[in-house]
Each structure stands twice: as C-alpha cells, then as structure tokens.
A and B are shown apart, each in its own frame.
Chain A
C-alpha cells in the first residue's frame, strides 16, 4: 500500500471555543489496493478534538455496519496520540469531502486507513509534546507522551493534554511526525469492547429505523411485484380512507404512501389497487439453471486463464473427475430492513440512514434532484448489518425523491417482504470441474463457472501450482439484479474449489492438509504463470490450524473437514468438526487460523471471524432465493431460512498468526472457506458429496 501525503497543504489546526485544539487532517491517498465502489478514493481524513478538560473526541470516519470500525479506527488514532482508551469519546463523522473515502466494502476500512490514522494521532502527540517543552523551556527530546500526559524525563514533571491543547493549537504542524515503535503499542492489538456496547444492551443504540424528526411522515412504497413488471395504473381511493394516511405519491415505477405512523403507512400501502404490466421477460430460476447446464459444458469458451494444456493431460491420466456444483441466488437479509430518512427542501437536503456509500448516495441524489452536492448533508447512524446490500443506494435515493415530491420530511420504511423482492442478489452460479489424476498425482485442473451477471474468476489457487490449468468464466444475462454479497466471488468459489479439492484427495488417498501443503510447495518452488497468493502465508495458516485442531487425531464420534482460502489480503484455514444428529450435521467446533497482518482490536477481530464462520455455515446450509416469473418465492424468513442457535457451532476457536505486517481485510475472509470445510466434514461422516447449496435440502 502506498500513501502519498502532502502534509503542508492538507492539515489544519484550530483553537476551539473554551480552550482546546481541533486537528483536521486530510491527505491524498493513492490507494490502488482498495476495491472501487463508486466512491472517490481521494483524501482520507480524520478529526481529533481535544478539550481543555482532557477529554478527547475522535471521529469514526467510516459507516458502522457491524464490522466494528466505529471502535477499531479510533483505536489507531488513540494509540499514536498516547491517550488512555477510557478517556476517548467516539462520534460518527458526517459525510464531508475532507474525511476522504467514507465507504465501507471489500474489507477495506482498516487496511485503507491504518497508516493515515497513525499519522493523525502522531501529529497531535508531537504538537502536544512541543507545547509542553516550550512551556517548561526544555528540549523536546527530554519529553515524551504517556496516558494523556506529556512527561519530562529528567524531572518527572508532567502536564495533561487538556492543559496543553490551546498552546498546541498555535504551533506549526510537524512535517513528518515519528510513529510509535509497534512494540510500544498499548491499544492496538488489545481486546477492546464495542464503543456502543452498553447502548446496544440497554436498547439505547439508535439505527436508521429509529430516526424521529419534527413533522416527519412515515412512508411505505409499493414496488413492482416481479422483475420485468412495470407500473400501469393505481387506484388510491381505499388507501386515502385509512386512518393516518396523508398522501399518496406516484413515482416512476412505484407508489409511496405517507402517513402518521409506520402501521398506517403499511395499511395504506397494502390498500392500493395497482395494475402492473409485464414490460420485460419474467424470469425463473429453473430456466437460469437449465441455461447454466448447457453453458457450463461448453469447452470452447475463451479461458480467463490457461496454463499449459489441460486436454493433453487426459491421455496421461488414469482417472478423470468431472463434476458440477450448483449455487442458488441469495438475498442479503440484513437484520434491519432497509429504510432512509430524507428532508428535501428547495435548496437544502438532509439524508440520514443506512448506507455503505454515503458519498455515492450524495452524488446520485444531487443528480436526480439537480441540487449541488454542497447543499446535501448525509450522515449515517449505526446500521443493522450490511453484507454488501447497502453498496447500492436505491433506498436513500428513493427516500429523497419521495420527500421532494411530498414536500415533507419522510422516513421510508421497507418491510421484510420489500427487502426480499427488491434486493441486488448474490447471483446463482454453476461450476463444472475436471481433474486429471495419475495414480498419486494431480495432473491438470479445469474449472468453468457460469453466474448471473459476471463470470467467475480464474486466478485463485490451485492456479500457479499446476503445469496444466484452464479456468473459464461466463456471465449470464438476466433482469434479476445482482450485487455484492459478503466476500463476493470468493464466498462461492472457495466452496466449490475446496470441495472439489477434497474429492481429489479422496481419489488420490491423500491427507487433505498434507496435500494442500504439497500444492503450496509446488507453487513456491516452481510457480506456473502469475501467482495471486503467497504460498508461504497459505502454508502458515494451514499448518497453524492443523496444530490447533490436532489434525490427524480426530476425536471419537466427530467427523472433520478442512478448507483454506485467501481473500481481501488475508489467509484463512479452517477445520470443521461435526457430529451427526439424526443424519444431520451439528457443528460442534470450528478451528480457524488467520493471517490478516497486524490485528487492531483482538476482540472485534475474533468476533468478525466467528461471525463470518457462522454466516458461511448458515448460507451453506439453509437459505435460497427462487425466482418464479420474476417474483421471489421466499417472501420472508419463514421460507428464506436462517441458521438458529440450535444449528450454530457450539464453539469457534480463532487464532491469529503473529504478524508485523500492515493490517489486511477481516470482515470477509473467514467466510469463504467454511462451506467447503463443512461439506468435506459431511462427506467424512456420510460418504455423500454435497455439490449443491443449500446443503440442508441435500440431506433429507
């Protein structure tokens, strides 16, 4: 990661009323590693405000969707600032250009901001140190920062930050503040609880759904009941008779009902008599898969990657494995149904609600309403999950349009049914794999993936370790919308590739752990083509989890599966232990080794990994979306099934490989490997290879 920083131009310091300093920083950042999500990547920024009473307010610059960055990002600043964590108050930063890239996605928050936030804290610490040295008339070199104080080594005297803040605010900004030696870290790498923990447990944490403003109306929207259908006509006579209904607003392809309460808005919405007409093809999942079956068998597609010649290995092979895997469409199902508050006045707009991309929301609303961006305020509350759904801005844009048309502040609330039918789904996919095997060796690998929207990628391992590798990806055009879903691409590719790898191990009678290590050795010693991973780091986590789980000594009554995957900069290896209860798997324990570089918040990081594992098991086992003539059959959680406590692992042991490297992604990487580890465990237990999600349907 490369940061280009021009400090003089972009830092500001100012005194605050009542004494104290406010440091604002912004710097250019050429961060090529981060995934573009439609946000600009310009100038990340952070604020510290230090009051004369010693209290520090640190702004959390990125939206919080459950990934813990409201806690972990400020920890980085606090570390370099040299302050006690308990003296820090954290607030959400509103959307401001000088805060830089405020979107969340691609497990990018920490890895994108680590260096910058360290410099933010270090700059403030250095200015406070200088202020103290000047106050005492001693050399700066005799002073150091500790626990919110500047201390003078020779005499032991000290001054609190609060007493120095006003003086520090008048100093020039240091051009290259010295960062702490990581061995002196006191906050980074420790276990810190979520900053909102007590608010959450007492019901005081407020989400978008909890927004309440003077004069606000509640809205519900009737949207097309199927993809491909358009609004033809609406009769709102019955709606207007519903208690509390105030207005009906017809939008381009939907109808909004505004009322004095959520329930009135819903009743009014449900009383609309709307005629929808089919404007496009009404698609069904059964037809998607029928097309996939044909496409996936087509071998004459331009490969995304081609090393050697897979075809020639067939003549040398004693056996050719040839199988297909099938993955259904999924919804995001974040716990907080979508909503958004908008107050659109003639030249002024306020937007408040759940989004992972406040900047791109602002840009889109600006365009739609023809109001300049500087007149549009956007802020985000805590958000009830994201998982990629809120990388799309439809909920915020829609609220702005409704508020503008109704000339009223409005909170648009979606029902779960609205969420299920109006998602940007994880696309359905099908994979065909072939492997050519000699008596004891894997000779060649062929994978062909078809997905709605975009084709699968072809660079992940085992590519790079085999002389003969062919990877094909094909996209399938559909009017059913797709989007990003936690660990996009990796979340499904890891399942199919690592399950197929297990099939190969069974055929070759190789130990799954030993066989992976062999492959990574080959990739290291004799890489073929471009390597998109570090074989040593892969080996590191594989060996680590083997040790954690005492691999090779499976406990009695337990069946084991193994899998490993690299994504978003991090290496993860997992062992899943199951028991069979009435023929169904119960995950007793999951062992997980992670190399994600330096860990910031050990508790939060472990929580992300545990959560990603449960998420991966849940979506491997239970839910699926089925389109029937453009409509989603699974309209709510009675049919779109989630894992419950009885299906959750009893224990998940997480260990992070010690690393001094810069932090990599962590919100997503632990999810991809777990589905394969589970399916491999089910094979160990039952001899049945699960090549289709959701697994639960295959187990009855």
Chain B
C-alpha cells in the first residue's frame, strides 16, 4: 500500500492506505481523529465536513490520493481549546440535540464566516447545506449570527 504524508491540523501525519481510501476514513481509522463523522458517504449530508486550505469540503468522497500537500483542518484543529467564536456560540445557544452532525455544521459555518464575516440569512441558506436530522436549524442560524457579531 502507498504511504501518504498529510498536513492535518498543522501537523505532518502519515498513513499507509489504498489510494482510493476517502480522507474521512484516513482521519478516523488511521489518524484517530474521530470528531469528523460519517453520515452518507456520497457528499450529501456534510457530517464529514473538514477544511482543505480553508474551504469546507466533504471528506467522505475525497480520495487520499487527491489530498496531496493541501492543508487539512478538522474539528479537533479548529481552535486550540474549543473556543472558536462558533464553538462558543454553539454552546451558548445550546444548539445540539444528538450532536452527531454538529462538528460538520461548525466546520461549514467556520468556512462561511472566514470568507463572509457578516452573512445574511440568504448567505446562510446558501452555504449551510449540511443535514441535521434533529432539526436544530433555527439555533444553528442564531449561533452563526451571534458568532458573526463577535468576529
């Protein structure tokens, strides 16, 4: 099996896996970064959202062979102590129910705020395409607006 050298959360990491292995499973099964979740495997739900060079991508369909030296950031690397304004806003607004999709939601929101620090409701509608089966959308929207005010 080929060996890949990756930049994840500012660190250099290596994994020996088949070239078609999705980044998601490399993160979870080989690098023990379990915060990124599996939901559909076809880039629909966004539970697997991570950043690649600052953009939100769905890691379940990105083969490891295509990652190259692009910089990957996962929920574990979004902030040092869980204090990114979105993470704080998520807690303050008690957004989560089951919590399974929320790491992906936060990563999607973080990518949105990094290119648009003051998103309108329409911007949020367009950018936040992740599925939340518990229906926390109203609180997610509120948390994004409140984090936006603090950035």
**A contacts, CB < 8 Å to B:** 64-68, 191, 193-194, 196-198, 200-207, 209-210, 212, 218, 243, 261-264, 267, 333-337, 382-387, 413, 415-417, 603-604, 607-608, 610-615, 618, 636-638, 642-646, 648-652
In the complex, the answer to whether A333 meets B133 with C-beta atoms within 8 Å is yes
Chain A residues, Cβ within 8 Å of B111: none
In the assembled complex, which residues on chain A have CB atoms less than 8 Å from the CB atom of B36? Answer: 203
Interfacial chain A residues near B38, Cβ < 8 Å = 209, 262, 337, 413
A417 to B42, CA, bound (A): 10
Q: Is the CB of A615 within 8 A of B40?
A: no
Q: A590: nearest residue on chain B (CB-CB)?
A: B138
Q: How far is the CB of A195 from chain B (nearest CB, A)?
A: 11
Q: Are B135 and A610 in contact (CB under 8 A)?
A: yes
CB within 8 Å for A644 and B134 given contacts A203-B74, A243-B1? no
Per a CB cutoff under 8 Å, which of A202, A387, A604, A646 touches B76?
Answer: A202
Give the CA-CA distance A203 to B9 in the complex, in Å.
13
- Tell whether A604 pairs with B94 under 8 Å between CB atoms, given A218-B29, A636-B42: yes
B44 pairs with A638, CB closer than 8 A = yes
Q: Collect the chain B residues with CB atoms within 8 Å of residue A611's CB.
A: 97, 134-136
B40 touches A212 (CB 8 A): no
Contact of A261 among B17, B44, B103 (CB under 8 A): B17
**In whole angstroms, what is the CA distance A212 to B128 when docked?**
31
Task: Assess the B137–A645 pair: CB atoms within 8 A.
Answer: yes
Interface residue? B126 (CB, 8 A): yes
Which of B25, B82, B91, B138 is in CB contact (< 8 Å) with A263? B25
Query: Shortest Cβ distance from A218 into chain B, in angstroms?
Result: 7
A210 to B27, CA, bound (A): 12
- Is B106 in the interface zone, CB < 8 Å from A? yes
Once the chains are docked, how many angstroms separate the CA of A637 from the CA of B90? 26
Contact pattern, B 96-124, Cβ under 8 Å of A = 1, otherwise 0: 11111111001000000000000001001
| Residue ID in chain B nearest A260 by CB atoms | B29
A202 touches B87 (CB 8 A): yes
CB distance from B146 to the nearest CB of A (A): 14
Given contacts A198-B91, A201-B87, A382-B99, contact A645 B76 (CB under 8 A): no
Say whether B72 faces chain A, with CB atoms less than 8 Å apart. no
Per the bound structure, the CA–CA distance linking A386 and B98 in Å amounts to 9
Residues of chain B contacted by A382 (CB below 8 angstroms) = 98-100
Query: What residues of chain B lie closer than 8 Å to A604, measured between beta carbons?
Result: 94
State the CA gap A634–B9 with chains docked (Å): 36
- A387→B133 contact, CB < 8 A: yes
A200–B30 Cα distance when bound, in Å, is 21
Bound-complex Cα distance A193 to B97 (A): 10
Complex CA distance for A611 and B129, rounded to whole angstroms: 17
CA A235 – CA B141 in complex, angstroms? 50
The docked-state distance in angstroms from the alpha carbon of A154 to that of B126 is 64
Whether a CB of chain A sits under 8 angstroms from the CB of B28 is: yes
State in angstroms the CA–CA spacing of A250 and B137 once bound together: 43
**A200-B99 contact given A261-B29, A337-B38, A603-B94, CB 8 Å threshold:** yes
Q: List 14 A-B contacts (CB under 8 A).
A: A66-B97, A66-B100, A68-B97, A196-B96, A200-B103, A202-B78, A203-B76, A385-B133, A413-B38, A607-B94, A607-B97, A638-B42, A643-B135, A646-B125
Contact A335:B22 (CB < 8 A) given known A209-B38, A636-B40: no
Given contacts A261-B30, A383-B98, A611-B135, list 15 more A-B pairs with CB under 8 A.
Answer: A196-B99, A202-B82, A203-B74, A243-B18, A335-B100, A335-B131, A384-B100, A385-B134, A416-B40, A607-B97, A608-B97, A610-B135, A618-B135, A645-B129, A649-B137
Q: B14 within 8 Å of A by Cβ?
A: no
In angstroms, Cα B141 to Cα A651, docked, is: 9
A335 and B47 contacting across the interface, CB-CB below 8 Å: yes
* Least distance between A575 CB and chain B CB atoms (Å): 16
Verify A203–B75 contact, CB threshold 8 A.
Answer: yes
Question: With an 8 A cutoff between CB atoms, is B56 at the interface?
Answer: no
Q: Contacts A210-B34, A645-B125 known; A416 to B42 CB distance under 8 Å?
A: yes
- Known contacts: A203-B34, A651-B138. The answer to whether A197 contacts B96 by CB under 8 A is yes
Contact A262 B42 (CB under 8 A): no
Task: Report the minimal beta-carbon distance from A228 to chain B, rounded to whole angstroms.
Answer: 26
Q: Which residues of A contact B125 (CB under 8 A)?
A: 645-646
Q: Quick check: B45 and A205 within 8 Å, CB to CB?
A: no
Given A66-B98, A194-B96, A243-B18, verify A615-B82 contact (CB < 8 Å).
no
Residues of A contacting B126 in the complex (Cβ-Cβ under 8 angstroms): 646
Closest partner residue, chain B, to A192 (CB atom): B94
A384, closest chain B residue (CB):
B100
Cα(A386)–Cα(B126), bound, Å: 28
**B134 touching A652 by the CB < 8 A rule?**
no
> Is B140 in contact with chain A by the CB < 8 A criterion?
yes
For A384, what are the chain B residues with a Cβ–Cβ distance below 8 Å? 37, 98-101
Assembly CA distance A385 to B32 (angstroms): 23
Q: How far is the CB of A263 from chain B (nearest CB, A)?
A: 4
Say whether B41 faces chain A, with CB atoms less than 8 Å apart.
yes
In the complex, the answer to whether B100 meets A644 with C-beta atoms within 8 Å is: no
Residues of chain A contacted by B74 (CB below 8 angstroms)? 203
Q: Are A336 and B82 in contact (CB under 8 A)?
A: no
User: Is residue B21 contacting chain A, with contact meaning CB distance below 8 A?
Assistant: yes
**Residues of the A chain whose Cβ atoms lie less than 8 Å from the Cβ of B17:** 261, 263
Instruction: Contacts A263-B17, A335-B132, A637-B131 given; indicate if A385 touches B139 (C-beta within 8 A).
Output: no
Give 8 closest A-B pairs by Cβ, nearest first.
A203-B35, A614-B135, A66-B98, A384-B100, A203-B75, A202-B82, A648-B137, A611-B135
The answer to whether B39 has its CB under 8 Å from any CB of chain A is: yes
Contact of A201 with B133 in the complex, beta carbons under 8 Å: no
Q: Which residue of B lies closest to A652 (CB)?
A: B138
Among candidates A206, A262, A334, A417, residue contacting B29 with C-beta atoms closer than 8 Å = A262
Residue of A nearest to B100 (CB): A384
Tell me whether A201 and B29 are in contact in the complex, defined as CB-CB below 8 angstroms, given that A66-B134, A416-B42, A611-B134 are known contacts. Answer: no
Q: How far is the CA of A32 from the CA of B21 in the complex (A)?
A: 52
Do the beta carbons of B87 and A416 come within 8 Å of each other? no
Inside 8 A of A335's CB, which chain B residues have their CB?
Answer: 37, 39, 45, 47, 98, 100-101, 131-134
Q: How far is the CA of A65 from the CA of B39 in the complex (A)?
A: 16
Contact call B138/A649, Cβ cutoff below 8 A: yes
Residue of B nearest to A211 (CB): B34
Do residues A263 and B44 form an inter-chain contact, with CB atoms below 8 A?
no
Assembled-state Cα–Cα distance A346/B29 (Å): 28
B41 to chain A, nearest CB (A): 6
Which chain B residues lie closer than 8 Å to A603 at the CB level? Answer: 94
| Nearest residue, chain A, Cβ from B81 | A202
Bound Cα distance A263, B29 (Å): 9
Q: How far is the CB of B90 from chain A (nearest CB, A)?
A: 5
The complex places the Cα of A197 from the Cα of B134 at a distance, in Å, of: 15
Expressed in whole angstroms, the minimum distance between the Cβ of B123 and any Cβ of chain A is 10
CB pair B137 A614 closer than 8 Å: yes
- Evaluate whether A637 and B35 lie within 8 angstroms (CB atoms) in the complex, with A191-B94, A607-B97, A644-B129 already known: no
Report the bound CA distance from A202 to B28 in whole Å.
15
CA distance A209 to B134 in the complex (A): 18
Residue of B18, B30, B100 with most chain A CB atoms under a 10 A cut-off: B100
* Shortest Cβ gap from A507 to chain B (Å): 34
Q: A197, A209, A218, A618: which contacts B37 (Cβ < 8 A)?
A: A209
Residue numbers in B under 8 Å from A383 (CB-CB): 98
Q: Which of A194, A212, A384, A610: most chain B Cβ within 10 A?
A: A384
Q: Which residue of B lies closest to A66 (CB)?
A: B98
Q: Which residue of A lies closest to B96 (CB)?
A: A200
